[in-house]
Each structure stands twice: as C-alpha cells, then as structure tokens.
Structure 1
Amino acid sequence: MYVAVKGGERAIDNAHAWLAEERRGDTSVAELSTDQIREQLSLAVNRVMAEGSLYDPDLAALAIKQSRGDLIEAIFLIRAYRTTLPRFGASLPVETADMACDRRISATFKDVPGGQVLGPTFDYTHRLLDFKLAADGEVAPAATSEPRTEPTPHVTGFLGQDGLIQDETPSDETPRDITREPMSYPADRATRLQNLTRGDEGFILSLAYSTQRGYARNHAFVGELRIGKVAVEMEIPELGFAIEIGEMELTECETVNQFAGSKTEPPQFTRGYGLVMGQTERKAIAMALVDRALRWKELGEDFLGAAAQDEEFVLSHSDNIQATGFLEHIKLPHYVDFQAELELVRKLRAEAEQNVATKEAAE
C-alpha cells in the first residue's frame, strides 16, 4: 500500500479530506439530504439495494451520497455493511401473485384478468429535457390510482392450464446462499438466479441484448412484467405460525420463449425469469433473457457458443464488486513486480543485441 511510501500515511489522510471536500461541492449550494436521494433518486436507490443485496432505502441513499453518486461504490458500501449484520432467521418465499401492483403489463395477451396497469414508467415519455425541472418548478402531479390489492394471477398460468408452457415444479430443497457459500459449477437454476439478481445491470443488459441479436436461441416475449409491494412473512417457532414482518417492493418478469420439444416433451413454450428488488424493470427483463439462455442444457438444446449460454463466463463475471476489486487493484503499488519485469526485459534486450553482434561478426 501507499502507506509504505515516505509520507504516504499523511498523503492518504489528505486524500480523504480532499474527497470529503469534493463530495460536498460548492458550499453555497444547499446540501443534498438522504431523504431527497431516497425520494427523488429512487431508481438509483433501487439499483443499489438490488445489487447490494440489502433492502433498506435509507442506507442505500446514504451510500449514494457518500460515494458521490458512484453506484458501484455505493453497492460496495452496502455489501460491506451487510456483512456486519446479524442473521436471525429466514423469511418464507414471497407470493408475487398477491402483489399490490403499481405496474403490470403483458406483451402476450391484450386482455388479462385485472387489466394492464401502465404505472410510473418512462416508456411513454418523449425523452425530451424538461427545463421546468432545471428552474426548480414543481410539475403538476398526474391523476394516480391506488395499487391493486386483490390477487393478480400470473399470465403464464393461463398457458399452463392448456399445457402450452413447460411446467415448473418448485423444489423442496433450500437454495444455497451465495453470500455465504462460494460459487461452484455446474450451478443449479436457483443459484444462477441469485447470481443474476445481484449482478451488474449493465453486464446483464449487454448479455441479454446479445441473445436478442442471435447469439443464443432466445426469441422471447414478455409474458408479464409487474412491479409492486409484497408482504414478507416469517415463521415464529414460539407461535407456531407465520406473521408478516414487513413489505418490500419487487420487480418480476416472466418471458415466454419458444421450445421445439424433445424426445420426452412435446413442443411448448418455456420461461425465463427475473426478480429484482425495487423498481428495476430493465434489469428484471434482462435477467429473464439471460436465465433462459443459460437453460439450454436442461432443455436439451444445442450449445451455440454464445457468451450468454456459458454458465461459468456469465456467473463469474457478472459481479461488479468482484470486477471492480480486481480491476482497481492494479492502481496499488507493484514496484517489486515491475522491477522484476524491467530486469527481464533488459536482459532479453542485451541477449538480442549480443546475438546480433555475434552474427555480424561471423559474416
């Protein structure tokens, strides 16, 4: 570390002070509060919670402020803090069919029970800069409706009633926790989904885009995309039953993909699945596409050599914290390593020059 350099510790302290000064910026401008970040930069907060694996909007907002808006640094802070928290139990699987939906759309069925709920989305905006925001003008709120509170069945369930989509029976086995156990290959689908939901949004998006451009067999339809709050329940041994301990916002996406069938299964549709904390629909859709691409082996399909089909490649490189650590470690002192390389290059050059001189003398 640079502490070993003469004056290094003092230099590092000064760097910390300078960072704090840069973080604050112009002191004549009002300081940004964590409440403002939580409420007005909610999509950034959602990403930090999802990839940091900790559902706490206040802490995510604090991490964003501390990191000066560097979301990967904020995710790093959240993960580091997460390791200090005690774990006193595990909740039951959430029931997304009971989600109170703020947004729920289907690209496969026009008329679905409960209807299409467009919700808060950029999809239908004109992508034009709104200069009223720069003038600190309040935009008139649009008329909003209350989230649906009645159960909203999944669209893919209707395909399942006719046997048109592959039946997926949930496993009774407790999924492994990749925050406590290292990855191993081959990985089961539950482990892959854990990895994808924590993975870097940009990386997962690029892989998903590659599948749509033909680098995997992945012609998909969005069967359903839903965003809303679900109850989190936990069984209390002393009570003998489960109680609701809170709620959380989730984004869920199920894609419907073609499947030609196999020797044991008739032609039918298959699914890709994405589930992410908060309103993170781009990530959820991308996750579902990559999930489907990774299922080629269990579905008996051919490996096409696509990156999104390569389990080890996808799972080993999707984590932005690991990638950042390995990338940025080369900024640290490598004086001894470089001197060794330098001496080697000098030796090789000397040998090459000697060989040239010897050859010329012989001629």
Structure 2
Amino acid sequence: MYVAVKGGEKAIDNAHAWLAEERRGDNSIAELSVAQIREQLALAVNRVMAEGSLYDPDLAALAIKQSRGDLIEAIFLIRAYRTTLPRFGGSEPVETDRMACDRRISATFKDAPGGQVLGPTFDYTHRLLDFKLAADGEVPEAAMATSDRIQTPHIMSFLDREGLVQDEPEGAEAPPDLTREPLELPAERALRLQSLTRGDEGFILGMAYSTQRGYARNHAFVAELRIGTVEVEMEVPELGFAIEIGEITLTECETVNQFKGSKTEPPQFTRGYGLVFGQTERKAISMALVDRALRWEELGEDDTGAPAQDAEFVLYHADNIQATGFLEHIKLPHYVDFQSELELIRRLRREAGAAVAEAAE
C-alpha cells in the first residue's frame, strides 16, 4: 500500500540530523580531517576535481568528507559550488611539453627520449593487503625528490618529424565551454574531449574496454602517459602579457592507432588524447581510447555500430551527475502517476476477466 510520507519539514530536519550523525560515525574514534583526506586519499580527491571541473584539492576533500565517501555526491557538491564562483577570465592553454613529470612512461619505445620515469603507481605492486598500514607505520621517503622532476618533450613529436602521425590542426577559435553552454550535437572534437574528461570514470572505462574487445576495433598503443605539474598562466589586460597564477597537476595520455589511409591521406598513425586533473591515469587512457573511437567519421572509417562510436550515446550518457539525477528522481513521490497506472491495470484485469467469463458462457 502506498501512502503519503508524513512529517514534512520536521521529518526532513531529522533526516539531516541523522545523516550528520551517521557521517561522523563512532565518536570514540578520531574525526577524519579534510587535510588527511586531501593528503591520504589523493586519488579520490583527483577524481572529484576532474569530474567536478574544479581544481581545488581542499574543496574536493571537504566534499568527500561531507558525502561520506560517495564520490558522485562529492562531484555534485563541487559542481554546485563551482556555479557560485565569479569568473575573472580564462587562462592560457597549458604547455604540457613543459610539464615537470613525476611519472612518464611509453609502451612504444623502450629507450624513450628523456627516459622512462615509473613514478608513484600501483602497476608494479602485488595487490596483496599490506597489514603494516593497519599498524600506522611510517613509509620511507621516495629516492627521487620533487625538485628532481624532469621536463621532457612529447614522444609523439619524434614521430611527427617523420610525418608518420596525422597532423592535428589548431582550432581557429576558442572552443566552446561545456561548463557554460549545453552540449549540442554534432560536437566538435574539443567539445567531445571536455565531455569525456568530465564524464564518469567507470562509464568511460567501460566504453574504452569495449573498443579493445572489438567494438570499434580500437587496438591502440600508449605512446606516452605522463603525470606532473604545469604552470597556469593568465593574461592580465592591464599588463599586456601573461603571468603565472599557479600550478596544477595533470595526467596526459596520447595513444597511437593504425590508419590505412584514404584517397587523400597516406597510411599513417592517428592519435587519441586524454587530459585529466590530478593523477588519474586510468581515466586518461580510457578517454584517449574513446576519443579515437569517436573520430571514425572524420577519418573516413566505417561505422561498425559500436556504442563507443556513437557520439550521442557516449556523450549524453557519460555525465554521472545527469545520470544520477535522472536515476534517483524515481525515489521521489510519484503517487499520482502510479495511481493512474494502478487504476489502468485494474481496469484491464476486469475487462480481461469479463471477456473470459463471457467466452466460457
């Protein structure tokens, strides 16, 4: 039986109080600070910043604490807060070839120019629970200090010298801003990349995985994956030139794919691209694979009907905030709609019963 929820505003206030109590947990255990979340749950913080489109580790950590670790709820909080911020202008495009790399690897060249830098990664761990962490033991410092980070050119630039990679013409105009304008199709590549970098990591991962398993035939090589800090510059009108206003950490991935050529293009490599806030390499690689799959039309390739090639399907379903809102709205009262459906089913059953009885006579 469906009945109206009683209590109104008082019930909602009590629900909020109960939520705050559950969020705090056992009072005999020390409260988790925002600084602890920022420093020790950095990968969760990075995801919230990336999909929330706001680079602020402290606010992302606060959102994670407020949401009890529900990252999609934290992303929602960050996006909502972002809309309240004043906009003073736009920064210059960041120069990722000047990135101070903490991690830089290539799956295409063993002796990559500038060297391979393994950096902080789970790739070489044994995936065994480390019970030393439960004892709050100290961790030894890494042998490579932050000041020793290197700046290296992109590996793709070495392929470019031989003309083996498709040219990527620079856009004549600034791309549209997805945080200020709604997504419209057909979407140019710059807009697709914005949508992918804000998209849900799990969804983008699933789409990327599907391309590797044959849905879009996207068997890529990671030309380069790099993680590090870049300078952010902004042009000040009063000065007439750009000045550095800060640094951010980014993950960048470039993949190479075979392209058999066309009537106007020789056989060459094409590229997929991913760029995400923080150390978010799974998302960056996934993004690069999906980016390449979505380029089938501009490259004159066949549409295999794969989901990852369908821009409307990918871009309209990648955003976890929109998906969550539409999904969770069915929790809200739908009494009138349901009663109409209930009455319809009852009437149909009565009519069907009467028809059976009439046929039996």
Q: Given the two structures, how large is their TM-score scaled by the length of structure 2? A: 0.97
1:161-172 alignment runs, 5 A limit: 161-172=161-172
Return the alpha-carbon distance in structure 2 between the equivalents of residues 139 and 91 of structure 1: 37
Identity across the alignment (%): 80
In the other structure, the counterpart of 2:212 is 212
In the other structure, the counterpart of 1:194 is 194
Return the alpha-carbon distance in structure 2 between the equivalents of residues 172 and 100 of structure 1: 29
Shift of 1:112: 1.9
Return the alpha-carbon distance in structure 2 between the equivalents of residues 205 and 179 of structure 1: 22
SS in 2 for 1:131: coil
Question: Is the CA contact (8 Å cut-off) linking 1:101 and 1:147 kept in structure 2?
Answer: no
Return the alpha-carbon distance in structure 1 between the equivalents of residues 51 and 126 of structure 2: 29
1:174-197 deviation line (CA, Å, top 9, x unaligned): 100111111111110000000000
Return the alpha-carbon distance in structure 1 between the equivalents of residues 132 and 142 of structure 2: 16
SS in 2 for 1:13: helix
Pairing 1:106–2:106 present? yes
Return the alpha-carbon distance in structure 1 between the equivalents of residues 314 and 148 of structure 2: 36
Pairing 1:42–2:42 present? yes
Shift of 1:148: 5.6
Return the alpha-carbon distance in structure 2 between the equivalents of residues 172 and 50 of structure 1: 26
Return the alpha-carbon distance in structure 2 between the equivalents of residues 90 and 144 of structure 1: 34
In the other structure, the counterpart of 2:282 is 282
Pairing 1:123–2:146 present? no
Shift of 1:272: 0.2
Question: Is the CA contact (8 Å cut-off) linking 1:101 and 1:148 kept in structure 2?
Answer: no
In the other structure, the counterpart of 1:91 is 91
Pairing 1:16–2:16 present? yes
1:31-81 deviation line (CA, Å, top 9, x unaligned): 000000000000000000000000000000000000000000000000000
Question: Is the CA contact (8 Å cut-off) linking 2:205 and 2:283 kept in structure 1?
Answer: yes
Question: Is the CA contact (8 Å cut-off) linking 1:98 and 1:149 kept in structure 2?
Answer: no
SS in 2 for 1:175: coil
Pairing 1:64–2:64 present? yes
Question: Is the CA contact (8 Å cut-off) linking 1:132 and 1:139 kept in structure 2?
Answer: no
The answer to which of 161-170 and 267-276 deviates more is 161-170
Return the alpha-carbon distance in structure 1 between the equivalents of residues 99 and 172 of structure 2: 23
SS in 2 for 1:173: coil
Return the alpha-carbon distance in structure 2 between the equivalents of residues 140 and 97 of structure 1: 31
AA aligned opposite 1:279: Q
Question: Is the CA contact (8 Å cut-off) linking 1:253 and 1:288 kept in structure 2?
Answer: yes
Return the alpha-carbon distance in structure 1 between the equivalents of residues 303 and 7 of structure 2: 56
Question: Is the CA contact (8 Å cut-off) linking 1:48 and 1:75 kept in structure 2?
Answer: yes
Return the alpha-carbon distance in structure 1 between the equivalents of residues 198 and 289 of structure 2: 15
Q: How many residues align?
A: 358
Question: Is the CA contact (8 Å cut-off) linking 2:102 and 2:149 kept in structure 1?
Answer: no
SS in 2 for 1:15: helix
In the other structure, the counterpart of 1:139 is 139
In the other structure, the counterpart of 1:246 is 246
In the other structure, the counterpart of 2:257 is 257
AA aligned opposite 1:92: E
Long gaps (5+) in structure 2: none
SS in 2 for 1:233: strand
Question: Is the CA contact (8 Å cut-off) linking 1:100 and 1:229 kept in structure 2?
Answer: yes
1:141-180 alignment runs, 5 A limit: 141-146=141-146, 151-180=151-180
Shift of 1:5: 4.1
Long gaps (5+) in structure 1: none
Question: Is the CA contact (8 Å cut-off) linking 1:23 and 1:66 kept in structure 2?
Answer: yes
AA aligned opposite 1:205: L
In the other structure, the counterpart of 1:266 is 266
Moved over 3 A (4+): 145-151
SS in 2 for 1:215: coil
SS in 2 for 1:209: helix
